[in-house]
């Protein structure tokens, strides 16, 4: 009497098609009883037959190898229960033959010792593979068509959530909490003041549940600016289409962020960990050796004590609270020197409106570049028609120029949509100047670092008494100059600030650096 193992496989989507495990087992046992075959083991599998990497099949194969000769047959109802990959199926049939085991379908039995039977075996094995391929192709084309229509396929990206409309249409909508955090992340990264990892950490503190790798993928995804990417397929070029979902950010902000990530935008930032007790970490230089000061905490008997220190042998070490307070006093000195902020606002608006032409010049430059790209597209098309270039070369050139044109159009649209609300911007900026001390003392550490970084573009050297630096923000310098000149004005003198003397800023220590103490 032959001994057989019964192999029963069904995937979740096949149970509705009459492939239930109980039905398969009933028919296999009836076949064994009719043909005087003893059943050794019944194996149930719920994995796809696209490959033999199935847990129960691997276990069964290992048992058959250890107990070689105990089993002569592996029975299943149809050949598609055994495999849906013709190449893998022939390899597995060979492995079983080496163990002296014959795989057999009870509905389509074949005598594999007869050469002609292999023709039928090829048909039985190829048919389910063709069905799988056709099904997969149909799904692929359906998903591609949906992407071309601007629909997001699959689980919603971070910042969105899946939503089913009353008519049954599935779509993604902004998440009220995570969506705002993602918006904030794009804005912060586009500024280039802090590195991306720090933005991610701050997002985590705000409640965003996202790993670092997923965050990097998210900030590269154009889905957030309302675009859906359709990848290249055969003769169809890759492209972006307008999505049916609501955009979280503008295209201009998205591409500004990409410029920062790709290194095309100049950045002034410090890649360090942010500690609330060490807000100046990364901004300070050692007065002896010129290296960047680090920061750390030493554990005392009752609490931790924070210090800024140099890691070299020079031994420079300052108490963090002392240095932090010095910075607060420094900023407070700036704030107290701006008592006529409304006058500054009017002067700056007047100067801006009369002399600032950068926006118009940039628009003209973008239009010129766009015309050049369109001219290049026409030349490439003519070269293709005349047979001077190959279709593949033309397709590559067309894709590259289309991407350039799209980016230029995004820039133009962003500039055209900008409102010259200079008054509002100036009011906001000067308001921040007047509240610098409050921001440092009560604001979060990220905002404090942004404020310090904007005032001091270069590193600060602290010598235990005061700070010095090679350059300050030009706006701060000019505002201080205006105020000093206003204080010196006497009765009967010219009141036009534009006519005031532009004196050279006094310099401090050698090499010449701007003294912040004076």
pLDDT for 452 equals 78
Instruction: Tell me the average pLDDT across 25-38.
Output: 92
Is the pLDDT score of 409 beyond 90?
no
Q: For the chain, what's the residue count?
A: 518
Is the pLDDT score of 296 beyond 90?
no
Is the pLDDT score of 426 beyond 80?
no
Binned at pLDDT 50, 70 and 90, residue 362 comes out as confident
Instruction: Tell me the average pLDDT across 208-232.
Output: 90
Residue 432 makes CB contacts below 8 A (sequence gap 6+) with 439, 451
Residue 196 makes CB contacts below 8 A (sequence gap 6+) with 189, 215, 216, 219, 261
Residue 149 makes CB contacts below 8 A (sequence gap 6+) with 241, 244
Work out the mean pLDDT of the chain and round it to a whole number. 80
Binned at pLDDT 50, 70 and 90, residue 498 comes out as very low
Is the pLDDT score of 238 beyond 50?
yes
The β-bridge partners of 105 are: 76
DSSP string, 131-197: HHHHHHHHHHHHHHHHHHTTPPPSSPPTTEEEEE-TTS-EEEEE-TTHHHHHHHHHHHHHHTSS-HH
Greatest alpha-carbon span in the chain: 125
Instruction: Tell me the average pLDDT across 158-183.
Output: 90
Is the pLDDT score of 489 beyond 60?
no
- CATH classification (class only), 160-261: alpha beta
Give the residue with greater pLDDT, 176 vs 333. 176
pLDDT for 232 equals 84
Instruction: Tell me the average pLDDT across 446-470.
Output: 80
SS (H, E, C) 309-323: ECCCCCCCEEEHHHH
In 3-state terms, what secondary structure has residue 237?
coil
Strands 102-105, 460-462: pairing is: unpaired
Among 93, 469, 491, smallest CA distance to 287 is for: 469
Domain ranges of the chain: 2-134, 160-261, 320-518
Question: pTM to 2 decimals?
Answer: 0.51
Confirm if 401 and 237 have CB atoms less than 8 A apart. Answer: no
**Helices 341-355 and 474-488, axial angle in degrees (round to 10):** 120
Give the residue with greater pLDDT, 41 vs 458. 41
Question: Which H or E run includes 486?
Answer: helix 474-488
CA distance 514 to 472: 8
Give the residue with greater pLDDT, 485 vs 162. 162
Binned at pLDDT 50, 70 and 90, residue 502 comes out as very low
Binned at pLDDT 50, 70 and 90, residue 52 comes out as very high
CATH of domain 2-134: 3.40.50.1390
In 3-state terms, what secondary structure has residue 461?
strand
Is the pLDDT score of 504 beyond 50?
no
pLDDT for 291 equals 86
Confirm if 104 and 110 have CB atoms less than 8 A apart. Answer: yes
Number of neighbours of residue 368 by Cβ within 10 angstroms: 10
Least confident of 54-58, 381-385, 503-507: 503-507
Binned at pLDDT 50, 70 and 90, residue 21 comes out as confident
Instruction: Tell me the average pLDDT across 149-173.
Output: 89
Is the pLDDT score of 27 beyond 60?
yes
Question: Euclidean distance between the first and final Cα of the chain, in Å?
Answer: 105
Percent of the chain with pLDDT over 90: 23
- Radius of gyration for the alpha carbons in the chain, expressed in angstroms and rounded: 36
Instruction: Tell me the helices (H) and strands (E) count for the chain, helix number first.
Output: 17, 15
């Amino acid at each position: 009497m032959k001994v057989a193992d019964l192999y029963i496989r069904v995937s979740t989507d096949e149970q509705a098609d009459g492939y239930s495990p109980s039905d398969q087992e009933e028919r296999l046992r009836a076949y064994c009883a009719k043909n005087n075959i003893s059943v050794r083991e019944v194996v149930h599998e719920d994995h796809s037959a696209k490959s033999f990497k199935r847990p129960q099949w691997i276990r069964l194969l290992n048992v058959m190898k250890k107990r070689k000769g105990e089993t002569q047959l592996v029975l299943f109802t149809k050949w598609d229960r055994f495999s849906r990959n013709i190449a893998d199926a022939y390899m597995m049939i060979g492995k079983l033959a080496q163990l002296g085991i014959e795989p057999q379908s009870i509905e389509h039995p074949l005598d594999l010792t007869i050469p002609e039977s292999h023709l039928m075996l090829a048909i039985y094995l190829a048919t389910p593979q063709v069905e799988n391929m056709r099904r997969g192709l149909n799904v692929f084309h359906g998903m591609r068509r949906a992407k071309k229509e601007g629909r997001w396929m699959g689980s919603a990206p971070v910042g969105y959530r899946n939503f089913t409309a009353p008519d049954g249409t599935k779509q993604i909508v902004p998440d009220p909490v995570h969506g705002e955090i993602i918006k904030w992340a794009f804005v912060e990264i586009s500024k280039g003041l802090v590195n991306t990892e720090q933005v991610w950490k701050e997002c985590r503190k705000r409640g965003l549940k996202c790993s670092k790798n997923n965050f990097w993928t998210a900030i590269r995804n154009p889905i957030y600016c309302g675009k859906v990417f359709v990848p290249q397929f055969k003769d169809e070029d890759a492209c972006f289409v307008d999505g049916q979902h609501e955009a979280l950010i503008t295209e201009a902000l998205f591409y500004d962020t990409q410029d920062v990530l790709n290194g095309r935008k100049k950045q002034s930032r410090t890649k360090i960990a942010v500690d609330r007790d060490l807000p100046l970490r990364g901004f300070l230089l050692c007065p002896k050796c010129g290296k960047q000061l680090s920061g750390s905490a030493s554990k005392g008997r009752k609490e931790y004590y924070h210090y800024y220190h140099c890691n070299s042998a020079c031994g420079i070490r300052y108490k963090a609270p002392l240095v932090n307070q010095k910075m607060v006093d420094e900023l407070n000195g700036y704030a107290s020197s701006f008592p006529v902020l409304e006058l500054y606002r009017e002067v700056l608006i007047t100067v801006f409106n009369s002399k600032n032409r950068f926006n118009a010049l940039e628009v003209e430059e973008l239009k010129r570049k766009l015309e050049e790209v369109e001219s290049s597209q026409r030349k490439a098309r003519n070269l293709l028609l005349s047979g001077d270039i190959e279709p593949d070369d033309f397709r590559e050139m067309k894709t590259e120029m289309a991407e350039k044109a799209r980016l230029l159009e995004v820039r133009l649209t962003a500039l055209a949509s900008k409102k010259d609300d200079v008054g509002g911007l100036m009011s906001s900026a000067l308001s921040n100047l007047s509240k610098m001390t409050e921001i440092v003392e009560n604001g979060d550490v990220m905002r404090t670092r942004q404020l310090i970084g904007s005032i001091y573009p270069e590193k600060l050297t602290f010598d235990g008494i005061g700070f010095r630096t090679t350059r300050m923000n030009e706006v701060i310098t000019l505002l201080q100059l205006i105020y000093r000149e206003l204080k010196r004005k006497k009765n009967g003198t010219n009141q036009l600030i534009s006519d005031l003397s532009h004196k050279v800023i006094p310099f401090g220590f050698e090499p010449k650096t701007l003294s912040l103490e004076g």
